[in-house]
Amino acid sequence: MKYFSLNKQSQHVNFKEATILGQAPDKGLYFPERIPIHAPDFIGQLISLSKEEIAFRVMEPFVGDVIPADELYRIVSETVNFQFPLKFIHAGIASLELYHGPTFAFKDVGARFMSRCLSYFSKNQSNKITILVATSGDTGGAVANGFLGVEGIDVIILYPSGKVSPVQELQLTTCGENITALEIDGSFDDCQAMVKAAFADDDINNEMQLSSANSINVARWLSQQIYYFLAHQQWEEKTAPVIAVPSGNFGNLCAGIMAYKTGLPVQHFIAACNVNDAVPDYLQTGIFKSKLTTPTISNAMDVGNPSNFVRILELMNHEYTAFNSLVSGYTISDETTIQTIREVYQQNNYLLDPHGAVAYAALQQYQQNHNNAAGYILETADPIKFPDAINTAIGVAPKIPLAAMELFTKEKRSIPMLNEYASFKDYLLSR
């Protein structure tokens, strides 16, 4: 499998090169030359296959021959060595719980897969790889956990000061070793802009081997297909599901659409957004306009200019009508998010996190106009990460499990930094 830049000014590369580079030299995102199609019997066999076999079969066509089959099987086995239960909240709406990994968030899958791929690739690298990653919440913790202690790789995480939850902040600031957290006086979009500027800076690239661990990286993005197939393995309804995806930088939805293009049965996708809703606006008007980021209680989705939108356009062949027929967009306010958490908890004894609540509210609105079509939401984070929102919704904060309590015994270590690229560049070059 080869990958090309969506800016179409760089050479085609293999999976290894695309993963190490993160972003193409022409600053475009990498995209596979072709979309592999799974044999129909693979979909029919899902119910009888192990998680490991499903993950291997999903990723093998995208990785190609740059990782031997036995090594790839080991990598995907370590990637999916926790549970991905699909639980019905009530008839018609199920929840795919993606928070049973080490950092209680869906991004554990992509971060674990990518870290293990880079660890394998770095064995033959003479230069140390520096991972630059911007986070709006969960990416930072997942990347820190996935890369902690990996030889030959340093990780620098940029996060917006005061705009991530306490658990999220501790997960990305208490690791030490090869993990460094930069606390930026700005928004996630500001952090992401600084990372993108570094990738475009010749001074930095002449001194350092940079790579990215955001969903702009093909290893992070494409591996998120795995849990859509694991969900379908558990789907017992007669019709294909409607899937509501909490959407920020749109890597998750983009992975779902890729899974659909390779053969996964899906009736419809919902791009469930908070008020940072550039894509729902596009679906209404056909015109894409980025927005200034607005802070919300579903903070991991606070993205005004989603990077992976260009990949979705490529997947849909830049055909607005086709995009609009496959995907619906909804904007969910903080008030509706809190109300949804409260009502689902009181009526169904199921606790949603703010991101899952956005997806639930969007799916509910879709069902009102589509004969209650059965579907599931992606519950992307454990409610324990959002104690203030949960307490506001149900009157009590969620109980923190022992695995998370240990975080509160650790010392936060971050480097405060102004929201200016010059300071960030000076820091990188002085390391």
The pLDDT-based confidence of 298 (bands split at 50, 70, 90) is very high
The pLDDT-based confidence of 140 (bands split at 50, 70, 90) is confident
When pLDDT is averaged across residues 69-93 and rounded to a whole number, the result is 97
List of E strands, 344-411: 375-379
Burial class (CB in 10 A: 0-12, 13-18, 19+), 267: middle
- The answer on pLDDT for 128 being more than 90 is no
Distance CA(114)–CA(215), nearest Å, equals 10
Distance CA(109)–CA(226), nearest Å, equals 8
Question: In this predicted structure, which of 67-81, 361-375, 392-406 has the lowest mean pLDDT?
Answer: 392-406
Higher pLDDT residue, 378 or 201? 378
Q: Is the dihedral of CA 185, 191, 197, 198 positive or negative?
A: positive
What confidence tens digit (pLDDT) does each residue in 202-215 have?
999 899 988 888 78
List of E strands, 24-178: 30-32, 86-90, 93-97, 129-134, 153-160
DSSP annotation of 409 reads G
For 157, phi then psi, to 5°, come to -110, 125
- The residues of the chain that CATH labels 3.40.50.1100 are 2-72+107-220+411-430, 84-103+224-394
pLDDT of residue 60: 98
When pLDDT is averaged across residues 122-140 and rounded to a whole number, the result is 82
Residue positions counted in the chain: 431
Distance CA(118)–CA(130), nearest Å, equals 11
When pLDDT is averaged across residues 307-328 and rounded to a whole number, the result is 96
For the domain spanning 2-72+107-220+411-430, the CATH number is 3.40.50.1100
When pLDDT is averaged across residues 149-158 and rounded to a whole number, the result is 90
What confidence tens digit (pLDDT) does each residue in 327-385 have?
999 999 999 999 999 999 999 999 999 999 999 999 999 999 998 899 999 999 999 88
The mean of the pLDDT values for the chain is 93
pLDDT exceeding 70 applies to what percent of the chain? 100
pLDDT of residue 216: 87
Name every residue whose Cβ is closer than 8 Å to that of residue 404 and which is 6 or more positions away in sequence. 104, 167, 384
- The answer on pLDDT for 407 being more than 80 is no
When pLDDT is averaged across residues 104-112 and rounded to a whole number, the result is 92
User: Within its chain, how far is the Cα of 55 from the centroid?
Assistant: 17
Q: In this structure, which amino acid lies at residue 310? A: V
* CA nearest neighbour of 57 among 76, 83, 32, 35: 76
- The answer on pLDDT for 16 being more than 80 is yes
- The answer on pLDDT for 318 being more than 80 is yes
- The answer on pLDDT for 137 being more than 80 is no
pLDDT of residue 27: 87
Distance CA(242)–CA(232), nearest Å, equals 11
Name every residue whose Cβ is closer than 8 Å to that of residue 414 and which is 6 or more positions away in sequence. 173, 181, 182, 183
- The answer on pLDDT for 401 being more than 80 is no
What confidence tens digit (pLDDT) does each residue in 267-295 have?
999 999 999 999 999 999 999 999 988 99
Q: Which fold has domain 84-103+224-394?
A: Rossmann fold (3.40.50)
The pLDDT-based confidence of 138 (bands split at 50, 70, 90) is confident
Give pTM, 2 decimals: 0.90
For 47, phi then psi, to 5°, come to -65, -25
Higher pLDDT residue, 353 or 399? 353
Distance CA(22)–CA(309), nearest Å, equals 17
